[in-house]
């Protein structure tokens, strides 16, 4: 029997996607499995390229959520370098959000445009704190302790390793004869200086001796090549930004557009509203070539309204996130797998991609979301706790953690997150999210390759080489599914052991 005969076998077990989701019950990613297909290729043959919107393609189907504990410029830069995209949150002023987007669009591979600096009166203890919370040393010292002022020295490990008194000001231990590069230097030239001089950090100065950026030897080693980077037509990293449906967001969109943002996410917990339709129409009418993702939606009717208003992509999910309590509090929403399948099937008629947002806690959830029609997965929990996520690390019971909070938590709403819930300005606030913490996962630059390899292995088991082939198999009924009982779910996870060591999601 030929390979083609094996792949097209008529002995089909299980259910098609249509049969599975025609059941009148909401399903989550854990309620079903994809039945295995035929393998005639290696995991390395799997291609993860996908569409984020009608006109934006990504090499990897990963999107970081516009949450204030998940995505600012550092996360967006890392996501874009690794083939995904980051969406900058809007719990900030217009100028602050524009600044974050600008850092991504101006980013040059290997150049740190927003370096951590200290002043001469800071102490060694301050350096220790930076090392503990951010994981690096080699700190430029500027005259007034602010970025972009005159460089007067640099402090590295060798300057402080044997100092017992950590209260000593850094001006007493810093190296003042600093090897530097000139503004406008190429990355190759900077790399050559670092190699020749055998140094770890190369400050880049303007003609007045002011610090403009920093080149790190470790970054040069890590960032040597990013062939899958998400870039625009001008070879700049891609970046998205979230806005609300409030009138002030029209000015916000205009400022973000001038900064070069690639895509706007209209961030509403319930996106099927006259306010969002008017915002969609405003953006599409006034900003040429600016892609817009509408949402959040969970039904075909909601999707239809936003597509008709001009959405280039849809964000799917209402209440499935790990820190979201919308379904409990509001009694409104939909089980996430059912929501993704139904909206994706409808949006496909218009060639509009959908982004599965929420309910993803492992590689299998990502694979299931793509298998039922999603083109990309937006994640908060999975990317919170990484080096690039906003906030500082702290320790609790010996575990290294970072804060993670829902945008509808009381904390986030006080900072502006209530703009997505149509209740800004209300004296009484009803929380639809919680605040918590997540374990340190290391750097995105290590974590995404782990997720990508796991996803390629999943595609191999399913018997499909690309996201497009997977969706074709779904539409044609060749991709087969099976419901899982609660006992089957339990059996499919770890069970019956006296003890075991759980795998870590931390990227080493």
The answer for 164, left when phi > 0, alpha when psi is -120 to 50, beta otherwise, is alpha
Say whether 358 counts as a known binding-site residue.
Answer: yes
Is 313 marked as a binding-site residue?
no
Q: In the annotation, is 172 catalytic?
A: no
The answer to whether 504 is annotated as binding is no
For residue 426, which phi and psi values (nearest 5 degrees)?
A: -70, 135
Known binding residue 405? Answer is yes
268 is in an annotated binding site: yes
The residues near 198 (Cβ < 8 Å, ≥ 6 apart) are none
N- to C-terminal Cα separation, the chain: 44
Residue 473 assigned ligand-binding role: no
**Contact in structure between 264 and 283 (CB atoms under 8 Å):** yes
487 annotated among ligand-binding-site residues: yes
Q: Which of 236, 252, 324, 456 is catalytic?
A: 324
User: What is d(CA 207, CA 292) in angstroms, rounded to the nearest whole number?
Assistant: 41
Instruction: Name the residue among 238, 245, 253 with its Cα closest to residue 284.
Output: 253
Ligand-binding annotation for 83, yes or no, is no
Q: Phi and psi for 34 in degrees, rounded to 5?
A: -85, 130
Is 421 known to sit in a ligand binding site? no
The C-alpha torsion from 272 through 274 and 279 to 281, rounded to 10°, is 100
Q: How far apart are CA 227 and CA 127, in angstroms?
A: 34
167 annotated to a ligand binding site? no
To the question of whether residue 404 is assigned a binding role by annotation, the answer is yes
Residue 192 assigned to a binding site: no
Residues in the chain, total: 508
Cβ neighbours of residue 394 under 8 Å, at least 6 residues apart?
400, 401, 402, 403, 437
User: Which entry of 60, 238, 315, 420 is annotated as an active-site residue?
Assistant: 420
Is 26 labelled a binding residue? no
Is 406 one of the annotated binding-site residues? yes
At 159, which helix (H) or strand (E)?
helix 157-160
Q: What's the alpha-carbon Rg for the chain, to the nearest Å? A: 24
Q: Please tell me whether residue 40 adopts helix, strand or coil conformation.
A: coil
Closest by Cα among 309, 321, 285, 301 to 293 = 309
Q: Residue 496 and residue 311: Cα distance in Å, rounded?
A: 49
426 in a known ligand binding site = no
- List all residues 6 or more positions away from 252 whose beta carbon is below 8 Å from its beta carbon: 90, 94, 97, 243
Is 269 labelled a binding residue? Answer: yes
- Asked if 420 is an active-site residue, the reply is yes
What are the φ/ψ torsions at residue 491 (nearest 5 degrees)?
A: -70, -30
Annotated binding site for NAD(+): 267-269, 317-319
Report the binding-site residues for IMP. 322, 357-359, 380-381, 404-408, 432
Which residues are annotated as catalytic? Answer: 324, 420
**Known binding site: residues?**
267-269, 317-319, 321-322, 324, 357-359, 380-381, 404-408, 432, 486-487
User: Residues comprising the binding site for K(+)?
Assistant: 319, 321, 324, 486-487
């Amino acid at each position: 029997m030929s390979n083609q005969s094996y792949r097209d076998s008529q002995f089909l077990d299980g259910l098609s996607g249509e049969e599975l989701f025609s059941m009148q019950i909401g399903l989550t990613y854990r309620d079903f499995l994809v039945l295995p297909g035929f393998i005639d290729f290696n995991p390395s043959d799997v291609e993860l390229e996908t569409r984020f919107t009608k006109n934006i393609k990504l090499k990897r189907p990963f999107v970081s959520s516009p949450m204030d504990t998940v995505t600012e410029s550092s996360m967006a830069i890392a996501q874009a370098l690794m083939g995904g995209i980051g969406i900058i949150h809007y719990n900030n002023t217009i100028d602050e959000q524009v600044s974050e987007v600008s850092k991504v669009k101006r980013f040059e591979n290997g150049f740190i445009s927003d370096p951590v600096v200290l002043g001469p009166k800071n102490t060694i203890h301050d350096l220790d704190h930076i090392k503990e919370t951010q994981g690096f040393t080699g700190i430029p010292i500027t005259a007034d302790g602010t970025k972009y002022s005159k460089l007067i020295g640099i402090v590295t490990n060798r300057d402080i390793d044997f100092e017992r008194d950590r209260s000593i000001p850094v001006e007493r231990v810093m190296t003042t004869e600093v090897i530097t590069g000139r503004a406008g230097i190429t990355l190759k030239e900077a790399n050559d200086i670092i190699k020749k001089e055998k140094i770890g950090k190369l400050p880049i100065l303007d003609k007045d001796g002011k610090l403009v950026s920093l080149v790190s030897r470790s970054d040069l080693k890590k960032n040597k090549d990013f062939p899958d980077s998400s870039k625009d037509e001008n070879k700049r990293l891609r970046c998205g930004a979230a806005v609300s449906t409030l009138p002030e967001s029209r000015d916000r969109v205009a400022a973000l557009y001038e900064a070069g943002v690639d895509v706007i996410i209209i961030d509403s917990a319930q996106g099927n509203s006259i306010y969002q339709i008017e915002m969609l129409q405003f953006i599409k009418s006034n900003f040429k070539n600016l892609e817009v993702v509408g949402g959040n939606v969970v039904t075909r009717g909601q999707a239809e309204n936003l597509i008709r208003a001009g959405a280039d992509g849809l964000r799917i999910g209402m209440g499935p996130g790990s820190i979201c309590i919308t379904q409990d509090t509001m009694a409104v929403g939909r089980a996430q797998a059912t929501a993704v399948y139904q909206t994706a099937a409808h949006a496909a008629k218009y060639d509009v991609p959908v982004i599965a947002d929420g309910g993803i806690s492992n590689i299998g959830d990502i694979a299931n979301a793509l298998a039922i029609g999603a083109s990309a997965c937006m994640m908060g929990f999975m990317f919170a706790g990484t080096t690039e996520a906003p906030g500082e690390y702290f320790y609790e019971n010996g575990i290294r953690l970072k804060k993670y909070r829902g945008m509808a938590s009381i904390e986030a709403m006080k900072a502006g997150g209530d703009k997505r819930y149509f209740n800004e300005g209300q004296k009484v606030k009803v929380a639809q999210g919680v605040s918590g913490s997540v374990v340190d996962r290391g750097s995105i630059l290590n974590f995404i390759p782990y997720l990508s390899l796991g996803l390629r292995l999943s595609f191999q088991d399913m018997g499909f080489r690309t996201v497009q082939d997977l969706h074709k198999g779904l539409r044609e009924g060749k991709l087969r599914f099976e419901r899982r009982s609660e006992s089957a779910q339990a059996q499919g996870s770890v069970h019956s052991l006296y003890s075991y060591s759980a795998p870590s999601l931390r990227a080493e």
